Amino acid sequence: MLVAVAGGWLCRRRQWLSVRWADRLNRAVLWICLPALVLARVPGLELRAELLVLAVMPWLLTGIAATAVLASGRLLGWPRPVTGAVLLAMLGNTSFLGFPLIDTLLGPQAVQLAAVYDQFGTFLLLSSYGVLVLAIYGGQSRPTFAGAFNRLVRFPPFLALLLALLLPGPLPPTLRSVFELLAMPLLPMVAFALGLHLRLRLPEGRRGPLGVGLAIKLLAMPAIATALLMAWPPGPDVFRVAVLEAAMPPMFTAGAMAVAARLEPELSSALVGYGLFAGVATVCVWAWWLG
C-alpha cells in the first residue's frame, strides 16, 4: 500500500500522469472491483451468537464517531464537503491492513475473529453508511431526501449489496472465483489513485479537519471500544481483536469513494495517506497496552 501511494504521488510530482487518471481508476473501482467484492463475500455470510459483539461494535463506534464529527464540524464551521470527507474517514481499514496486523500482533487464529468485525461491520457499513454520506454530502447544493435517495439507489456497490443480501446462499465456487478475480485490482488501484491526489501541504483550513478526524479515528474510537467492552466483557481474544480493529486507520476504499465523488479529494487523500503512517504506529501502541 505504501509503495502504491508513493508511486502515485511520484507520478503526479514528475508529471508522468495527470490527476485525471485517478478519476478513471476510481470509476473502475466503483463500477467493477467493489461490486465484485461485495458479491463475492456477502452472500451466505453466517454469524454465530458468541461473535455478535464483533459484528455490533463497528456499528456502535461509527455512530458515536459520526456524531462527534458532526458536532466538530458545526462547532468549527467546516464546509459541508469537509464534514463529509471526515465522516467517511471513520471507516477503518479492517481487512487489507487489519488482517495482516492482527495476524502479526495476535496470531493467525485471531484473523478469523477480525473477519467477523470486517465483514458484518466495516464492509456492510461501507456499502450503506458510506454511500449515504456520499449521497448527502457529495452534491454542491444542500441535499433533499429525494436527491439523496436517488444517488443512493444508483450507486453500484449499494446495488450489489442489495442483490447479495437477496441471494438465498453462497454463490457457486466458479462464479465466486470470477468475482474475486475482478476484485483483485481494488487495493493497488485505490492506493495509486490516492497517491495521485496526495499533497504533503494541505490547503488553508484543512489541517484542522485532518487532525480532528485522525484523533477521533485513531485515538477516540479504540478508547470508546475499550470502555464499551469493559461494560459488556467478551472473551480476551474478542476484546483484543475488537479494540485493535477499532484502532485501524481510515479505509482506502472509502477515501477512493470520496475522491471519485469530488468530496474534498486532497483532504480525503491526506486522511488516508497520513492516517496510514500514523495508524500503524498507534495500532502497535494499542497492542502493547493490551499486552
Q: Give pLDDT tens digits for 259-272.
A: 878 888 889 888 98
% of the chain residues with pLDDT over 90:
29
Other Cβ atoms closer than 10 A to 155: 22
Number of domains in the chain: 1
Check if the beta carbon of residue 105 is closer than 8 Å to that of residue 244. Answer: yes
Check if the beta carbon of residue 192 is closer than 8 Å to that of residue 5. Answer: yes
| CA–CA gap between residue 35 and residue 27 (Å, rounded) | 12
Report the length, in residues, of the chain.
291
Non-local CB neighbours of 208 within 8 Å, separated by 6+ positions: 76
pLDDT above 90 (res 110):
no
Question: Against a cut of 0.75, is the pTM above it?
Answer: yes
Amino acid at 288: W
For 237-262, b/e burial (b = at least 16 CB within 10 A) is ebbbbbbbbbbbbbbbbbbbbbbbbe
pLDDT of residue 66: 96
| CA–CA gap between residue 145 and residue 103 (Å, rounded) | 43
pLDDT in tens, 42-64: 776 666 666 788 889 999 999 99
For all residues of the chain together, what is the average pLDDT?
A: 84
Q: What is the CATH number of the domain that holds 199?
A: 1.20.1530.20
CA 30 to chain centre: 14
- Structural domain harbouring 184: 1-290
CA-based diameter of the chain, in Å? 54
Q: In the Cβ-directed half-sphere of 237, how many Cα atoms lie within 13 Å?
A: 13
Q: C-alpha grid cell for residue 138?
A: 457529495
pLDDT above 70 (res 139):
no
Give the model's confidence band at 245: pLDDT under 50 very low, under 70 low, under 90 confident, else very high: very high
Task: Pick left, alpha or beta for residue 278 (phi over 0 → left; psi -120 to 50 → alpha; otherwise beta).
Answer: alpha
